[in-house]
Amino acid sequence: MGLFVRRRFSRQNKERKLTDKKENAIVHFYRETVGELRKVSWPTRAEAVNLTVIVLVVLVGMALFLGLIDLIGETLLKLALGV
């Protein structure tokens, strides 16, 4: 009796798995992405502008710093080579 019951449930599970429609991988990815994006705490316009200004200031500062280091290195190399 136990074997019969076990087989019956096993057959029902197999049939249920065959009838369940599997979701397309792209659709699944899209749904999960939309769900995650709804959880995001988006910055306000003022915060976005402030952060953009900070990034641009740091970018210009680093460009000047690296340009200065390059100029110093070039000058020292020219002195060392006697050019």
Span 37-53, mean pLDDT?
96
Q: Decide if pLDDT at 71 tops 70.
A: yes
User: CA 3, 6, 9, 13 torsion: positive or negative?
Assistant: negative
State percent of the chain over pLDDT 90: 67
Helix, strand, or coil here: 26? helix
pLDDT for 9-36, tens place per residue?
Answer: 566 666 555 555 677 889 999 999 999 9
Separation between Cα atoms, residue 57 and residue 59, nearest integer Å: 5
Number of domains in the chain: 2
pLDDT at position 12 is 60
- Residues 32 and 7 reside in one and the same domain: yes
Average model confidence (pLDDT) for the chain?
85
Q: Which domain holds residue 69?
A: 44-83
pLDDT at position 83 is 82
- Residues 34 and 55 reside in one and the same domain: no
